[in-house]
Structure 1
Amino acid sequence: MHRLFALLALAPAFALHFSPSPAKAAERSLVTDEPVFTKAKPEGAAEYVTKAAPSDGQHLALTMQKLQQGMDRPFLIWALGSSYTNMLGSGEFWQRELPKRFPKTQEVEYRKMVGNACPWQYLRGWARHLVIPDQPDLVITYTIGDPADLEKLIIELRRHTTADIIVPSIHWRERDIPLWGKSENAVDQDVAAVREVCRRHNVEFVENRRDWEAYLIANHLPVPALLKDAVHQSDYGAHIINSNILAHFRAPEKFSYDPAGRESPVQAERQADGSLSATFNGTRLDLIGTTSPAGGTYRVFIDDKPATEAGAWLMSYVQPDAKNAKEGKGANPRDQSPHGVTLGQHIVPQSWELVMISDSGDYELTGSVTGADGKGNAFKPFTSTSGQILIEPDLWRRAERNRAGDRFTFEVKHAIADEVSFADNAGGRLVRRIAQMLANGEHTLRLVPTSPGPASITSLKASRPPLNH
């Protein structure tokens, strides 16, 4: 132990940036230009072996059910965070390991959005615009920030998705060395507070920091041994973090919830007029079926209203223009932009454009249908003139870096399908999301034929998020 602390004391307190050789850069992330590497453990150290506690995996009931039973589509993982999340790779680990452990799971899809040093505060906007529309099976967030902001992120996801959520504690970095042997915390993460937020919301918390420390001690390694610079995990460090998460994909002593309470089958009944009807509970309805050359087309009604009248909406990503001002080395427009907006009342589906008109946060908002809809300031709450769009300063990152002429665009569209067609000359499997973003409660579905032909439905599944609005 004395040797370990001596090595720790020698660790430099400044960040080192390495340029990897082209041979090691196996691929590049779709989100940033940071390379992903092949893992290599520290010289002389043992291979990392995970250890699972009896309760590990208790909040992953739906995940385990899907992986063990298989699905009619890929298992979808969404990752949100900072460069720490980016350094975990682009899904290669999960696409390799999950099919090995769960043979009925052959396809794994992994999507991510990260920002430089992006804390939980701003991830809520990305969750709203990117993750929730995708309705993933699992969400992983690996970053830092105020635990209160993590709680807001969890609540946002839990109100609109049935996804399980995983939150690992942050790894040890050079800036944390003064805390070694004194506290489980990082200089920028209260581990106990994060653990408590996860406990309160039945979120799977991974004791990554604790197990990372144990590996360093057992192998007489200094903190920098698992880092690629002063703060970021090395390739082997990323392997350890991913492995610590994977260790929770198991059957615990007891699950914290019943999967049937979140996702359950729905039975459709054929009516005398040729329509199909069903009653379901939740916010979302998915259809699995088959198509054929003789298949028919059916118009969708939810609660006896067509899609255009159902009042369920989705928003696209708030896209910063590539020509927007950039400040700082390696700056990206997405790191100085509104990460999320909120929908208000009297929504009209359309495209929106927000343009900065000063260097001090002033902007104007214009809708492709509504037209000019008011002026606001990035540092103050804003409600558009029509009441359709609300913009919160808490979800606008680095507004002080925006300059006049910076431009952001997003789209609002219906969250319910207008119709479902079972016609296809080739025939095949049909996977269709009928509706989402409904109020969390009981609803009715009616499929009314608009062109002759059968509706071959294999199954309907309703999804009910664990939190009501």
Structure 2
Amino acid sequence: MPFLCTLLGLLLPLYAFAQSYFPVPPVADASRFATRLPRTASMLTGATSAQSQEVRVLVYGQSISMQDWWKQVKHFLEQRYPQANLVMVNKAIGGFSSDRLKLMVDNDVVAFYPDLILFHDYGNEDDYEQIIRTIRSRTTAEIAIQTDHVAVGQNETWHDRHCNVWLPALCDKYQLALIDIRTAWKAYLAQNKLSASTLLTDNVHLNDHGNYLMAEIIKRYFETLPTGPVSLAGVHVLKAGKDFTVRKDRLRLPVTGNRVDLVWSPSTSSASVLVDGQKPLATLGCYYHTRPSRKPDGFFLTHIGQPLTVQLAGQPQAEDWTLTITAVDSVRQEVGFRVSGSKTGHDGEGSSDKPFTSRSGRIVIEPYYWFRRKNPGDFRQFSWLKPGDTLRWQVASMCRDTISPADGRTVTVLQGVANGEHVLELSGRALSGLHEIRVYQPPLRD
């Protein structure tokens, strides 16, 4: 009997994984998808063993985006485009509708600087559009918007209008790709005589069948990507000898954008970098921070009363930061705290109900950055922080002052600076091997 129980325990998950669902037909109308991802299509379909390049895909949104469908899509892309070096990560945050996610998007997205974002979120439309504007002004990422699947107990009239009218208009306004999940979901339910709840674990979250359907619909859209000419939309490629010339191991070049990559033949020599007359590591925009967390090795969101984000200011430096809770008032939803940096040292005390700027000026925490309940039932699975609890984050740079022989063939020397005009200065013997400069210019200005 114990043997049979063990055997069943092994076989049932395999059966659940192997069981078949109804097929999903090809997309009837992909006009808002295939033509609006030219760089992604070029990078995926044009990759070869001799010319493989990294394709960075970010899955972003809230709990629906955290579910297992994205892993199925990742596997599909890896199988369909085996020559592409796919780097696909998920930074979605459960329960973070657009009013909360807008606080996170700048730091989350700019640090990863994806080529493509698969995005879905709930919440008010003004904040939703602000998220899109932030991405379009801070990165050159192409964005594929997923409409809402069919849930139970939602305002169907609002979601139909949001998905059939507002989101397509938003995609047209910002030239975003559209993945019409909702229309395909309704068709699947109708054709197979299923109720919406058949694909859900509760009123909204997906079960295995729902994850299958979400993944299959998205796969059908990727199957429409055309194989065509090389497209570097948003990226200006400058060639040595044609667009720039290195003289006496020096190059001074005006660039417009917020990221610069160098493509070169690594040598035993090095080179130094200046932007607008100063070292990049002295530039505020070059820095980002990890999410403040009690568990640096796990998901960051664990308690009510923690800061969701911070703002870097003054003159940042690469270091580790610690915020220690000194007092908690769960009724007023306020905490007292102190902060310290591994290099800066003790840097001040504050309260979550007031704007805080650390003594060094390096850390700013606004009152609306703190994680509070919007109503008594909001995130009821989380308890409040306690005095003595600590949260930690790291500040790191996305830029380089120098290029060394160990840096590889493609090196990002600037990232995160203001999206505008800059003067790039390079000097050093390593420039003899510089072949190409790629300048990334987001379509919207900061």
Please classify the TM superposition score into its range, dividing by the shorter chain length.
0.7 to 0.9
1:118 partner amino acid: F
Question: Secondary structure at 2:194's aligned position in 1?
Answer: coil
Mind listing any 5+ residue stretches in structure 1 that lack a counterpart? Answer: 1-19, 27-36, 253-257, 324-329
CA distance in 1, matches of 2:369, 2:12: 37
Cα shift at 1:454:
6.3
2:258 partner amino acid: T
Question: Secondary structure at 1:167's aligned position in 2?
Answer: strand
Aligned to 1:232: 205
Matching residue within 67, 71, 77 for 1:91:
71
The answer as to whether partners of 2:290 and 2:395 remain within 8 angstroms in 1 is no
The answer as to whether partners of 1:121 and 1:394 remain within 8 angstroms in 2 is no
Counterparts in 2 of 1:302 and 1:24: CA distance versus 1, 3 Å:
farther
The answer as to whether partners of 1:297 and 1:423 remain within 8 angstroms in 2 is no
Matching residue within 261, 266, 279 for 1:291:
266
The answer as to whether partners of 2:144 and 2:177 remain within 8 angstroms in 1 is yes
Counterparts in 2 of 1:453 and 1:54: CA distance versus 1, 3 Å:
closer
Aligned to 1:127: 105
Counterparts in 2 of 1:157 and 1:392: CA distance versus 1, 3 Å:
farther
Aligned to 2:177: 204
Q: Which has the higher helix share?
A: 2
CA RMSD of aligned residues (A): 3.5
**Is 2:31 aligned against 1:55?**
yes
**Is 2:61 aligned against 1:81?**
yes
Aligned to 1:343: 312
CA distance in 1, matches of 2:215, 2:128: 20
**What is the percent sequence identity of the aligned residues?**
23
**Is 2:414 aligned against 1:435?**
yes
CA distance in 1, matches of 2:312, 2:421: 23
Cα shift at 1:77:
0.9
- CA offsets per residue over residues 339-386 of structure 1, 9 Å max, x none? 322223344544322222211222223233444434333344433344
Counterparts in 2 of 1:212 and 1:394: CA distance versus 1, 3 Å:
farther
Deviates more, 1:393-402 or 1:295-304: 393-402
Matching residue within 111, 114, 122 for 1:136:
114
Counterparts in 2 of 1:225 and 1:66: CA distance versus 1, 3 Å:
same
The answer as to whether partners of 1:296 and 1:455 remain within 8 angstroms in 2 is no
Aligned to 2:194: 221
The answer as to whether partners of 2:149 and 2:182 remain within 8 angstroms in 1 is yes
Question: Secondary structure at 2:153's aligned position in 1?
Answer: helix
Question: Secondary structure at 2:409's aligned position in 1?
Answer: strand
Matching residue within 307, 317, 328 for 1:359:
328
**Is 2:434 aligned against 1:457?**
yes
Aligned to 2:332: none
Question: Secondary structure at 2:328's aligned position in 1?
Answer: coil
1:60 partner amino acid: L
2:398 partner amino acid: A
Cα shift at 1:310:
3.7
Cα shift at 1:270:
4.7
When normalised by structure 2's length, the TM-score is: 0.80
The answer as to whether partners of 1:123 and 1:339 remain within 8 angstroms in 2 is no
2:410 partner amino acid: V
Matching residue within 389, 406, 411 for 2:394:
411
What does 1:56-455 align with in structure 2 at a 5 Å threshold?
Answer: 56-57=32-33, 58-70=35-47, 72-89=52-69, 91-97=71-77, 99-100=79-80, 102=81, 105-176=83-154, 179=156, 183=157, 185=159, 192-249=165-222, 250=224, 260=232, 262-268=234-240, 269-292=244-267, 295-322=268-295, 333=302, 337-360=306-329, 361-398=335-372, 401-422=384-405, 430-449=409-428, 455=432
- Count of aligned positions: 412
Counterparts in 2 of 1:337 and 1:138: CA distance versus 1, 3 Å:
farther
CA distance in 2, matches of 1:142, 1:24: 32
Mind listing any 5+ residue stretches in structure 2 that lack a counterpart? Answer: 1-7, 330-334, 374-382
1:212 partner amino acid: W
CA distance in 1, matches of 2:9, 2:309: 37
CA distance in 2, matches of 1:358, 1:92: 44
Counterparts in 2 of 1:214 and 1:351: CA distance versus 1, 3 Å:
same
1:319 partner amino acid: P
